[in-house]
Chains A and B, each alone.
Chain A
């Protein structure tokens, strides 16, 4: 089994890693060509003794006198090459919007002529021709159990993550039911069988997360606020994402659900984008050039010493932080859009199936027959 691929044909060579590949020869040839071209190009690149480029020398000279910044990299990112960063910010925004669009569950489409009903089943099934197999049914059940559990748990009153409370609510965590998951795995035997169903992680991880997150959160803000030393909005935003992900991993989805709400996050992100646009546009209106400084400069090595640079960096913190949070949580929360499983009703006996349902089923049978007829031709 390890030496054959899905079609049952033998894979040549040792089955160290029996992963199917394709176009190996073409790939090797192309890669070799690219490698040769790159090798030639890289060998003729300027080396370590080259003079600094004109832009770099300009940035180094201008950084302290005209921005009061002791950190030329920040000056380049948000000052000299601010337009570049500006474009990049909105590239990130565009990517976040595409992730949100792609990850969003299907919206009910209400057309004039019932198009929402016509293709509904085919659109959301793996194999429109046949009934769902065991694997698909299992996946549907697991997913619906999870989403039911989620809605149930959101009503539940928020209790702390200490083991006593968890024990009170779920004295004997049953591993088979997905709905009644224990809050923490602290009461479960170590090395027990089956997957762990707890929402949170064990006390060791929770303690570590509790210790690390305040430090990390402060670090993230520090990286941005002390803009005259290496740092800035991008690393700061990534650190903020890390804080939230640690809380999510350690304490479960519910803990972050109060903060990570799409509406709140998207509003904050748009506020950050607006701040960046205003910062740059005001430079255009007040000083005559995009990214020009229009704020009073304070002495070097103070928090506001960069003027506009610091404002831009702060806006970038908001933008990158929330943008990454939105993208990551949209990915984590993606669920499958299932059509209603008709075959289950058939085997499980109809529970007083109403006339409407039967009509729809008949329609579907008709369309299935039509499809089959089309396939025959």
Chain B
């Protein structure tokens, strides 16, 4: 029932989206964005799953299988695992930039409330 994983990923994404849309605290908005990123990791890894498959490592396959069986399929999708690795690094980078901006905003306006930092000052 890998569909459950898909739906949980969709739910986590929506939770993140709702956080971003309705919260006023900037830190929580960044947390919402991180939730949305996290949901994509879950989706990628779930989509890489194949029923009765094994890890895509061509060494010492589990009993009854040879490396040839692995090559012909019936392993988890390595490309989607690659996407997940890429997504994690990009997520970290984007979160770092967001947090830096939040710190600067907090220092400049003395508030983390997104509704209060609309005005231009100085």
How many A-B residue pairs lie within 8 Å, measured between CB atoms? 182
Residues on A with C-beta less than 8 A from B85 are: 73, 77, 232, 234
Residues on B with C-beta less than 8 A from A337 are: 107
**Complex Cα–Cα for A31 and B107 (A):** 31
B10 touches A38 (CB 8 A): yes
For the complex, would chain B's binding face be called helix, strand, loop or mixed by DSSP majority?
Answer: helix
Residues on A with C-beta less than 8 A from B37 are: none
* B106 (CB) vs chain A CBs: closest residue: A336
For the complex, is A219 an interface residue (Cβ under 8 Å from B)? no
**Complex Cα–Cα for A23 and B114 (A):** 12
**Complex Cα–Cα for A247 and B10 (A):** 38
For the complex, is A81 an interface residue (Cβ under 8 Å from B)? yes
Interchain nearest-CB distance for A328 vs B (Å): 7
Residues on B with C-beta less than 8 A from A363 are: none
Residues on A with C-beta less than 8 A from B34 are: none
Residues on B with C-beta less than 8 A from A39 are: 7, 10
B-contacting 9-mer, from A63-71, A178-186, A210-218, A275-283: A63-71
For the complex, is A302 an interface residue (Cβ under 8 Å from B)? no
B94 touches A30 (CB 8 A): no
A31 touches B21 (CB 8 A): yes
* B48 (CB) vs chain A CBs: closest residue: A56
Residues on A with C-beta less than 8 A from B110 are: 126
A59 touches B13 (CB 8 A): no
**Complex Cα–Cα for A35 and B100 (A):** 30
Interchain nearest-CB distance for A119 vs B (Å): 8
Interface residues of A in 59-108 (CB under 8 A from B): 59-61, 63-64, 70-73, 75-77, 81, 84-85, 88, 91-92, 94-96, 98-99, 102-103
Interchain nearest-CB distance for A321 vs B (Å): 12
A123 touches B122 (CB 8 A): yes
For the complex, is B79 an interface residue (Cβ under 8 Å from A)? yes
For the complex, is A228 an interface residue (Cβ under 8 Å from B)? yes
For the complex, is A375 an interface residue (Cβ under 8 Å from B)? no
Q: Count of B residues near A, CB < 8 Å?
A: 61
Most chain A beta-carbon contacts within 10 A, residue among B56, B59, B75: B56
**Complex Cα–Cα for A55 and B82 (A):** 12
B2 touches A48 (CB 8 A): yes
B25 touches A19 (CB 8 A): yes
**Complex Cα–Cα for A122 and B122 (A):** 6
Known contacts A22-B24, A60-B78; is-contact A70 B100 (Cβ 8 Å): no
The contact of B103 among A46, A230, A334, by CB within 8 Å, is: A334
B58 touches A56 (CB 8 A): no
Q: Per-residue 0/1 for B82-122: is the Cβ within 8 Å of any A Cβ (1 yes, 0 no)?
A: 10011011101110110111011001111001110000011
Known contacts A39-B7, A52-B50, A234-B85; is-contact A336 B107 (Cβ 8 Å): yes
Residues on A with C-beta less than 8 A from B9 are: 42
Residues on B with C-beta less than 8 A from A31 are: 14, 17-18, 21
For the complex, is A258 an interface residue (Cβ under 8 Å from B)? no
**Complex Cα–Cα for A121 and B86 (A):** 44
B96 touches A95 (CB 8 A): yes
A56 touches B10 (CB 8 A): no
Residues on A with C-beta less than 8 A from B80 are: 56
A72 touches B2 (CB 8 A): no
Interchain nearest-CB distance for B10 vs A (Å): 4
Interchain nearest-CB distance for A320 vs B (Å): 7
Interface residues of A in 17-33 (CB under 8 A from B): 19-24, 26-28, 30-31
A60 touches B14 (CB 8 A): no
For the complex, is A53 an interface residue (Cβ under 8 Å from B)? yes
B51 touches A48 (CB 8 A): yes
B21 touches A126 (CB 8 A): no
Most chain B beta-carbon contacts within 10 A, residue among A60, A70, A77, A324: A60
Among all A-B residue pairs, the 6 with the closest Cβ atoms: A95-B93, A27-B21, A27-B22, A48-B51, A42-B6, A38-B10
